[in-house]
């Protein structure tokens, strides 16, 4: 029955992240992840090509949503307003399961250099996607690059705040990400 | 005689980067790197614990120099002036050999996901070192984090411009890094 389970992808991700935290990334096998998630190995391989892929899965989706939000922002939007539109679009794809995953994911990453490298490259990919979308709007470099980096920082800070906040706080990821973006914008005035 | 060669570390790095570009990171062995550099495997292992370490080698030094420059900036320096002092300190450690290595290193990184991940985590490490040094000066978050990210961007942009510039351009890395930092500072005014 597992193959028809709608939440299988999410269960595999949670199982993998928990195992990475408990015993390390290297020591964790696909068989263990499948077992923890209550599915067969062949079910795992219908969802992901390997255990590394499992961590990359969300990146293409996030990059696409960030870029789409930037591309579809009003023509007179400033670079940072366009970035805000990208953050809102990407945030709309993140639900309660993503919120629950946050602290576990951070623990797994903190425990593994390999996952830290993977996570760092993910940020580079998100920044590149946003930079390209801003350049396509006519934003010159280095403003485009700078705005994209602020967007990545805001998304990461917003995600951390959202996933660590009280569960009776019903404000979504978009609220926290845009709030972090405003804080970063304000901080530019103090750079000197 | 190889063990007394003062430039052995640099030769090993150049040999490794060239081999990574030619045949990929995974396919390159320590034995091949040593052979290309004209030294024995045991000489390699006196300099580096493995081929991965070879790429990380400069990171601790750079992080230390960036942090020292920030720590020793005048007490009334703004966050970005302190970052500039860090960039100057780190730049002073980079000579002609580092300049020659730039294009080769970028080619090797472009060809390997593993090296991209390693390089991305290096940037995270440099940003963390600068953030900590700024916080120690009393710069509040997120200004410290933002200033550190600008510093990393400026160092990377400056290094690219320096290593790609005409060889009769005798301006050092510090000139290019500080110039990039000024451009990024100026760009903050166009964020909207």
Chain B residue with minimal CA distance to A150? B146
Tell me which fold the domain B57-190 belongs to.
Tetracycline Repressor; domain 2 (1.10.357)
Cβ neighbour number for residue B180 with a 10 Å cutoff: 24
pLDDT surpassing 80 at residue A5: no
Selecting from A79, A113, A187 the residue whose C-beta is nearest the C-beta of B192 gives A79
Question: What is the per-residue DSSP string for A106-161?
Answer: HHHHHT-HHHHHHHHHHHHHHHHHHHHHHHHTTPPTTHHHHHHHHHHHHHHHHHHH
Q: Summarize pLDDT for B104-150 with one digit per residue, the tens.
A: 888 888 888 888 888 898 999 999 999 999 999 999 999 999 999 99
Q: Summarize pLDDT for A144-187 with one digit per residue, the tens.
A: 999 999 999 999 999 999 999 888 888 899 999 999 999 999 99
Q: Give me the architecture of the B1-48 domain, per CATH.
A: Orthogonal Bundle (1.10)
ipTM above 0.85, yes or no: no
User: Cα distance from A82 to chain B (closest Cα, Å)?
Assistant: 10
User: Cα distance from B44 to chain A (closest Cα, Å)?
Assistant: 23
CATH number for the region A1-51 comes to: 1.10.10.60
Question: What average pLDDT does this structure show over B174-178?
Answer: 96
Which residues in chain B have their CB less than 8 angstroms from residue A150's CB?
A: 146, 191
Q: Which residues of A103-139 are buried (b: 16+ CB within 10 A; e: fewer)?
A: ebbbebbeebebbbbbbbbbbbbbbebbbebbeeeeb
- Tokens 């390209």 belong to A132
Which residues in chain A have their CB less than 8 angstroms from residue B113's CB?
A: 121
Chain B residue with minimal CA distance to A78? B192
Q: Summarize pLDDT for A134-146 with one digit per residue, the tens.
A: 999 999 999 999 9
Q: Summarize pLDDT for A37-65 with one digit per residue, the tens.
A: 999 999 999 989 888 777 777 788 899 99
Domain boundaries, chain A: 1-51, 58-190
Confidence of residue A115 (pLDDT cuts 50, 70, 90): confident
Average pLDDT, chain B: 90
Q: Give me the architecture of the A58-190 domain, per CATH.
A: Orthogonal Bundle (1.10)
More confident residue, A14 or B155: B155
Whether B153 and chain A come into contact, CB under 8 Å, resolves to yes
Instruction: Report CB contact under 8 Å: A124, B113.
Output: no
């Amino acid at each position: 029955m597992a193959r028809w389970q709608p939440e299988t992808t999410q269960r595999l991700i949670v199982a993998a992240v928990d195992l990475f935290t408990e015993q390390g990334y290297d020591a964790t096998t696909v068989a263990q992840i499948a077992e923890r998630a209550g599915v067969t190995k062949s079910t795992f391989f219908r969802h992901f090509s390997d255990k590394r892929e499992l961590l990359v899965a969300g990146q293409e989706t996030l990059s696409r949503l960030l870029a789409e939000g930037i591309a579809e922002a009003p023509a007179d939007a400033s670079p940072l307003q366009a970035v805000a539109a990208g953050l809102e679009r990407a945030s709309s794809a993140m639900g309660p399961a993503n919120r629950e995953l946050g602290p576990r994911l951070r623990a797994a990453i903190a425990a593994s250099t390999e996952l830290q490298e993977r996570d760092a490259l993910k940020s580079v990919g998100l920044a590149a996607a946003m930079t390209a979308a801003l350049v396509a709007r006519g934003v010159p470099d280095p403003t485009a690059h700078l705005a994209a980096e602020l967007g990545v920082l805001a998304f990461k800070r917003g995600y951390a705040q959202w996933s660590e906040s009280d569960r009776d706080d019903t404000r979504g990821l978009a609220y926290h990400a845009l709030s972090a973006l405003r804080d970063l914008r304000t901080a530019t005035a103090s750079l000197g």
